[in-house]
Structure 1
Amino acid sequence: MTIDVSTEKARHEFYCHNKDWKRVRLKALKRDHYSCVICKAKGILTTSRLEVDHIKELKYYPELALELDNLRTLCKDCHNKRHNRYQRTRKQWDDERFEW
C-alpha cells in the first residue's frame, strides 16, 4: 500500500484519518509505557502531552510510515526540540521587545 505524504495536507490527512496509523500509534504508546523516551533516558518521567514521532521523518521515508520500529513516544516539548520547533513564551516576547 502506498501512502501519499507528499504535501502538508496529505500528511495531515494521514495523521488525522488513517486507521492503520492510529493502530500503530497506539502500539508505540503502549510499548513505550505511555511516557516520553527522551525524558525517561534523562531520569524524568513525562506522561502528559505525548506524541508519536517518526524517527526517520514521514515526508522523507513514507515507506516507514507504519513501521513500529521507526516510531517512538515523545512529549510535546521533546518532539518540538527534535524538529527545531521552538515555542516562544509570552515572557520571552516581552523581554525581547525591550532589547535595544
Structure 2
Amino acid sequence: MAEYKTEEQKKKFYRTGDWNKLRQQALDRDNRECQECKREGRVHVDSKKMEGERKSVELNVHHKYEIEHYPQLALVLDNLETLCLNCHNKIHGRVFDEQKRKRWDDEMW
C-alpha cells in the first residue's frame, strides 16, 4: 500500500489519473456544490469557465479521513466530499483574514 507522508508523495498522488477520475465523480455526485455550505443552508457552486480567461478555483474535493493517516481510503468515493475553499481551509485550521477583521464597534485606538 502506498504511503502519503511527505509533501512529494501527496503531490504525486494528486497528479494521478485515478485521483482525477475519482475527483470528478465526487464533484458530479455533489452537484458541484460545497457540502458544508449546503448543511448550513447556504449555496456555493463551482465557477464557470469564461472564454479567454482562466477558470477560478472555487471547490476542492476533501478527504474526510486524511490520506496521510488512512492511505487505504485515498481512492474511496465515500471518503470524499466537495467543499468550497473557505470551508476546506476552516476544516484544516487555515483561517486567514476572518479573525483579524475588526467589528464596527471595536475601538479605533
TM-score, reference length from structure 2: 0.76
Alignment partner of 2:69 out of 60, 70, 73: 60
| Segments ≥4 residues shifted beyond 6 Å | none
- In terms of fraction of residues, the more helix-rich structure is 1
Deviations 1:1-58 (A, max 9, x none): x33312111101111x211000100000000000000101111110131000000011
What is the correspondence of 1:21-40 to structure 2 with a 5 Å cutoff? 21-40=19-38
RMSD between superposed Cα atoms in Å: 1.9
Instruction: Measure the CA separation in 1 of the matches of 2:43 and 2:2.
Output: 34
Work out which of the two has the higher radius of gyration on C-alpha atoms and give 1 or 2. 2
Q: Provide the secondary structure at the position in 2 that maps to 1:45.
A: coil
Task: Tell me which residue corresponds to 1:84.
Answer: 93
Q: Mark the runs of 5 or more structure 2 residues left unpaired by the alignment.
A: 47-57, 103-107
Task: Tell me which residue corresponds to 1:19.
Answer: 17
TM-score, reference length from structure 1: 0.83
Q: Among the aligned pairs, what percent are the same residue?
A: 41
Q: Mark the runs of 5 or more structure 1 residues left unpaired by the alignment.
A: none
